[in-house]
Structure 1
Amino acid sequence: MSVALFTLGGTISVAGGRRLTGADLTGAVPGLSELGHAVEIQDIESVPSGNLSMAKVLDVVDAASKAVADGASGVVVTQGTDTLEETAFLVDQVWPHSQPFVLTGAMRNPTLAGPDGPANLLAAARVACSPAARDLGALVVFKEEIHAARWVRKTHSTSTATFASPNAGPIGHVVEDRVRVLTRPLRLDGVHVRADLDANRVALYTVTLDDDGVLLQGLAETHQGLVVAAFGVGHVPAALAPVLGELAAVMPVVLTSRTGGGSVLRHTYKSVGSESDLLQRGLIDGGFLDPYKARVLLRLLLATDDDISAAFAQYQ
């Protein structure tokens, strides 16, 4: 049995001016050779995670599916942390297998004191080959914590404890050499992408104080969908409500919260610009999804014939 390792770059693979290969990474991990599973390495590319694309990630998913078909017991992807929460959620939507798909990286590169990459990679590999992690979809493993892709967030710009799941907490831990899954969230319906993602542009708009919506002018001519990161439980200034309603009449507009935790509400507040007013104007309830994950899901859904409202209802 083996673990398929795909490398995409990021801090974990930056050593001064040198880019580390998968062989370099695994060679620096004490205990990896005692894992009991061979690590099959595929170096895809080495770029900052801000330069990744959804299409590139889907290509990696295809390659990972082939590795599983060839007998891999699980998959590990190393990448930069800046977009890891988005790529993990993307993978979770399209990964059809019971084998774990684990994403990890590092906050400290190998030239710094206390680099966290080797420990994260070892923990990720342990999770990838653990029967306990099967049927959980895509996972993020950092600092021996196991996070479900649908909840995980990058919450700090520099801390090695940056990854957290504000609405649920980690679903498990790696303790010594044991993978201990404490709770098993049900896998939700995924998305079967059948079209070119490049044909579907989704904007993310963060609402701010005294917002008049002028930046949304002409959006319907350039984009096919919109995610709104609203105040609190799903509120916007009253002047912005009719603008969003007009957009919702011609494209899917998803309502989320900019807070980073909790859900938008449905019927607690009634004023113009409140969550109930916006939903009555045709906006789609994003539930517990943060704006970044909502954008990933909406862009995927626009490339399918799936019911967009039904897909988002799973997160309410």
Structure 2
Amino acid sequence: MSIALFTLGGTIAMAGQSGSGVVARLTGADLTAAVPGLAELGVPLEIRDTHAVPSAHLTFPQLFSVVEAASGAVAEGAEGVVVTQGTDTLEETAWLADLVWAHDAPLVFTGAMRNPTLAGADGPANLLAAARVAAAPGARGLGALVVFNDEIHAARWVRKTHSTSTATFASPNTGPVGHVIEGRVRLLTRPPRHAPWPVPSGAAVGETARVALYTVSLDDDGVLLDGLAETHHGLVVAGFGVGHVPGTLAPVLGALAERIPVVLTSRSGSGSVLRNTYGAVGSEIDLRRRGLIDGGLLDPYKARVLLRLLLASGADRDAITAAFAQHG
């Protein structure tokens, strides 16, 4: 029995450099050596250093390569997998991995908000908690998880909610699915799992899955959307509240929806877009009549990940609509 540890850089792996801030320098061996109690876990960690870059630099193909390597580790006998990375895109990378993860073994993402040069660095505690979750029998079958601040979050729901707080990761719509308490993994609920999507080729992601994200704002005329259908294959709209846009923007979005998939989400940070409550021009009923796809409870960032994966997999409009009905 073992746990595979994949290190992707980020704050958790940064060290000091005089006059230049912190840079990614620590290896997986360095990280594990700094974690009190890891040796007492009773499960060896097999370390694999890969893609040592800030998470803002990560790409879909790089994440697919990590998932492929993690799948190989499970096939070779690993009971679970831990991935350490930067927190900037962690909510998106964990969700992307969750959509294609085909194993019962836990795939656990973690990182840090305070780098190792600071007092109270949270990386060691997060890594230890993540390893405990990856080794826990109760965590099997839950897909990709995010473990931070002794909380266990489903990748489907988790969001980064603060730029610097060590308690940044939260699941506003559901709360955590569990906690690590006195070293024990306590699962509170088991979210349903859906069949995994096949991993598309890296070429398909670039050639057929360019997806824009557009956040609607006050007095928005949509000029920035001009020509978007010529350069992109899909669009996610982060609308007001329950899924509203200015009346002047509604026909612009409708015209785009005739050419490419356009998914409607909320910019609010939690909650769902509605389907059948408001009927004015620019409301959710009006936009659905114009062909926009209901994003449900998916936030704009998660919706963009899903739409890009679907397009890269060759899904047509009906399949895309069905997938958002299932996941949203």
* Same fold per superposition (TM over 0.5): yes
2:259 to 244, 247, 250: 250
2:324 to 306, 312, 315: 312
What letter is aligned with 1:9?
Answer: G
Question: Deviation per CA, 1:198-234, whole angstroms, max 9, x where unpaired?
Answer: 1110000000000000000000000000000000000
Aligned to 1:89: 95
CA distance in 2, matches of 1:148, 1:266: 25
Mapped pair 1:128 → 2:134: yes
Mapped pair 1:105 → 2:111: yes
Give the Å deviation of 1:177: 1.7
Give the Å deviation of 1:80: 0.3
Aligned to 1:10: 10
1:268 to 260, 277, 302: 277
Equivalent residues of 2:200, 2:309 under 8 A apart: no
CA distance in 1, matches of 2:200, 2:131: 31
1:201 to 207, 210, 221: 210
Equivalent residues of 1:193, 1:301 under 8 A apart: no
Aligned to 2:191: 185
Question: Deviation per CA, 1:152-199, whole angstroms, max 9, x where unpaired?
Answer: 000000000000000000000001121110000110233213342111
User: Aligned with 2:45: secondary structure?
Assistant: strand
1:69 to 63, 71, 75: 75
Equivalent residues of 1:88, 1:103 under 8 A apart: yes
Gapped runs of 5+ residues in structure 2?
18-22
Give the Å deviation of 1:60: 0.2
CA distance in 2, matches of 1:96, 1:193: 10
Equivalent residues of 2:64, 2:199 under 8 A apart: no
2:290 to 267, 281, 301: 281
Mapped pair 1:296 → 2:305: yes
TM-score, scaled to structure 2: 0.95
Question: Deviation per CA, 1:14-37, whole angstroms, max 9, x where unpaired?
Answer: 011361000000000000001111
Aligned to 1:167: 173
User: Aligned with 1:314: secondary structure?
Assistant: helix
CA distance in 2, matches of 1:285, 1:125: 37
CA distance in 2, matches of 1:188, 1:246: 32
CA distance in 2, matches of 1:315, 1:86: 15
Mapped pair 1:219 → 2:234: no
Give the Å deviation of 1:305: 3.7
CA distance in 2, matches of 1:189, 1:197: 20
Identity %: 73
CA distance in 2, matches of 1:98, 1:257: 32
Aligned to 2:84: 78
User: Aligned with 1:301: secondary structure?
Assistant: helix
Aligned to 1:47: 53
Equivalent residues of 2:275, 2:285 under 8 A apart: yes
Equivalent residues of 1:279, 1:285 under 8 A apart: yes
CA distance in 1, matches of 2:86, 2:251: 39
CA distance in 1, matches of 2:91, 2:194: 17
User: Aligned with 1:259: secondary structure?
Assistant: coil
CA distance in 2, matches of 1:48, 1:40: 22
Equivalent residues of 1:75, 1:99 under 8 A apart: yes
What letter is aligned with 1:310?
Answer: A
User: Aligned with 1:124: secondary structure?
Assistant: helix
User: Aligned with 2:248: secondary structure?
Assistant: helix
Give the Å deviation of 1:46: 1.5
Gapped runs of 5+ residues in structure 1?
none
Mapped pair 1:27 → 2:30: no
Aligned to 2:20: none
CA distance in 1, matches of 2:181, 2:227: 53
Corresponding residue pairs, total: 316
CA distance in 2, matches of 1:314, 1:250: 23
Give the Å deviation of 1:242: 0.4
Aligned to 1:237: 246
CA distance in 2, matches of 1:305, 1:101: 26
CA distance in 2, matches of 1:92, 1:194: 14
